[in-house]
């Protein structure tokens, strides 16, 4: 019988990558296309949201709730463009942290679309450090549902109660706890 693996599962946006600028640019661009200027307060409520969830909120705020699918496509395109123009960098110490996780296998569980997720992790030189990467478009429901965390543990053969999630958003924290992982909430010290 093989030993139960223990994982450390990272959110991606904000941990271990600085994707805030790309998300800010993409969501503002999408909102402006709908003739909506996102307030800082509105943008803050989109922290940790999947592109689909952000699209639903932005469409609602713009009075176009029936256009969520179109808005999601627009946001996805804007996010891809923002990432291409200004690739997110690894946060200081991220690679060192991932490489020193004694006895645990690292993974990513993200609300980002798989194409964007793969591009930003590879661009920052972090993709080889993770044994599994799970995106919101690979599971039934995005965070705050536990699906991405459960899928990451399943891919690793890891036991969720013996694993830890690193998160920086309320939606992600809810997802990790619902999946049964221990939780470390990382806040921005800036």
Is pLDDT larger for residue 5 or for residue 156?
156
* pLDDT range class, residue 186, cuts 50, 70, 90: confident
Q: Average pLDDT for residues 160-189, to the nearest whole number?
A: 92
Q: Give the alpha-carbon dihedral of 25, 30, 35, 40, to 10 degrees.
A: -40
Residue 14 has pLDDT above 90, yes or no: no
Please enumerate in sequence order all residues whose Cβ is within 8 A of that of 86, keeping only pairs 6 or more positions apart, or say none: 21, 22, 25
Q: Given pLDDT bands bounded at 50, 70 and 90, which one contains residue 1?
A: very low
**Phi, psi (deg, nearest 5) at residue 101:** -80, 75
C-beta of residue 119 within 8 angstroms of C-beta of residue 22: no
**pLDDT mean across residues, the chain:** 91
Find the mean pLDDT for residues 108-126.
93
Nearest partner of 182 among 104, 102, 90, judged by Cα: 104
**Cβ-contact 10, 16 below 8 angstroms:** yes
């Amino acid at each position: 019988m093989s030993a139960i693996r223990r994982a450390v599962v990272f959110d991606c946006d904000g941990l271990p990558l600085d994707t805030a600028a790309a998300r800010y640019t993409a969501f503002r661009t999408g909102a402006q296309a709908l003739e909506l200027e996102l307030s800082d307060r509105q943008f803050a409520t989109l922290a940790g949201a999947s592109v689909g969830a952000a699209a639903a909120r932005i469409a609602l705020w713009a009075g176009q709730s029936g256009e969520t699918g179109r808005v999601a496509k627009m946001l996805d395109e804007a996010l891809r463009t923002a990432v291409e123009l200004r690739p997110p960098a690894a946060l200081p110490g991220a690679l060192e942290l991932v490489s020193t996780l004694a006895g645990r296998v690292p993974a990513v569980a993200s609300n980002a679309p798989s194409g964007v997720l793969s591009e930003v992790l590879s661009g920052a030189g972090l993709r080889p450090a993770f044994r599994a990467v799970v995106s919101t478009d690979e599971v039934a429901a995005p965070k705050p549902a536990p699906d991405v965390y459960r899928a990451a543990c399943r891919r690793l053969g890891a036991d969720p109660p013996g694993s830890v999630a690193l998160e920086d958003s309320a939606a992600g924290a809810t997802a990790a706890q619902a999946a049964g992982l221990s939780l470390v909430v990382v806040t921005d010290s800036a």
